[in-house]
């Protein structure tokens, strides 16, 4: 019975490369000369800590981060930019979480979308992975095509395809 896994994983090395590229670019930019800028990646917690002199510069760092990450092959959805920047002394700080894995409530939404699509497949949640299986591989490919149209705010990958 053909199956595949639906995951939302971030490769730590690719993320680290993107952050290092952003730090190097920001350091060399003319409008950031002499400014206080910190871009720190906490690899254990999948969290970015950004610091800059103003909120405008934080926004520019975020824009560069997203564009450089996309060039490295990371989707923009891996960053949770919902937290607002906050003032700490003379600098503005922002915490950016990196989404790694599918949360339980998101997994339930995905399974519901799959069931509502009317395709003849079974979806089961296994921790932060959703295993989708069906009788025909064509059904699985239709699930992949349908999932590309869902607006979940997640970067989904399709791995472990078995025939």
- Angle ∠(24,25,29) on CA atoms, nearest 5: 120
Both 16 and 83 in a single domain? yes
Q: What is the pLDDT of residue 53?
A: 92
Residue with tokens 């089961």, as numbered in its chain: 124
CATH code, domain with 113: 3.30.70.860
By the 8 A CB rule, do 58 and 32 touch?
A: no
- Full pLDDT tens readout for the chain, 163 residues: 899 999 999 999 999 999 999 999 999 989 888 889 999 999 999 999 999 999 999 999 999 999 999 999 999 999 999 999 999 888 999 999 999 889 999 999 999 999 988 889 999 999 889 999 999 899 899 999 988 888 888 888 899 888 8
CATH code, domain with 22: 3.30.70.990
Q: What is the pLDDT of residue 118?
A: 86
* Domain end (from 79, 98, 117): 98
What pTM, to 2 d.p., does this model score?
A: 0.83
Both 134 and 80 in a single domain? no
Both 109 and 136 in a single domain? yes
Of the candidates 87, 67, 85, 86, the residue with the CA atom closest to the CA atom of residue 76: 67
- 159 burial via Cβ count (<10 Å: 0-12, 13-18, 19+): exposed
Residue 32 CA: distances (Å) to CA of 74, 96, 146? 25, 20, 43
Question: What's the rounded Cα separation, in Å, for the pair 78 and 83?
Answer: 14
Both 49 and 92 in a single domain? yes
Q: What is the pLDDT of residue 95?
A: 94
Both 24 and 58 in a single domain? yes
* Domain end (from 98, 130, 151): 98
Domain count for the chain, please give it.
2
Question: What's the rounded Cα separation, in Å, for the pair 106 and 135?
Answer: 25
Question: What's the rounded Cα separation, in Å, for the pair 23 and 62?
Answer: 11
* Domain end (from 50, 67, 98): 98
- Do strands 47-52 and 91-98 pair parallel, antiparallel, or not at all (unpaired)? antiparallel
Question: What's the rounded Cα separation, in Å, for the pair 86 and 2?
Answer: 49
Residue with tokens 């949640």, as numbered in its chain: 125
Both 31 and 64 in a single domain? yes
Q: Domain range spanning residue 87?
A: 12-98
């Amino acid at each position: 019975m053909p199956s595949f896994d639906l995951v939302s994983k971030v490769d730590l090395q690719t993320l680290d490369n993107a952050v290092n590229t952003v730090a190097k670019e920001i350091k060399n930019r003319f409008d950031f000369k002499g400014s206080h800028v910190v871009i720190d990646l906490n690899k254990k917690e999948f969290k970015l800590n950004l610091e800059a002199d103003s909120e405008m510069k934080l926004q520019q760092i975020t824009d560069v981060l997203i564009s450089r990450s996309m060039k490295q092959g990371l989707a923009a959805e891996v960053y949770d930019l919902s937290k607002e920047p906050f003032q700490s002394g003379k600098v503005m700080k922002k915490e950016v979480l990196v989404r790694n894995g599918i949360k339980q409530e998101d997994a339930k939404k995905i399974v519901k979308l799959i069931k509502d699509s009317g395709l003849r497949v079974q979806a089961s949640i296994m921790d932060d992975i959703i295993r989708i299986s069906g009788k025909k591989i064509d059904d699985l490919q239709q699930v992949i095509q349908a999932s590309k149209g869902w607006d979940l705010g997640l970067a989904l990958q399709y791995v472990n395809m078995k025939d």
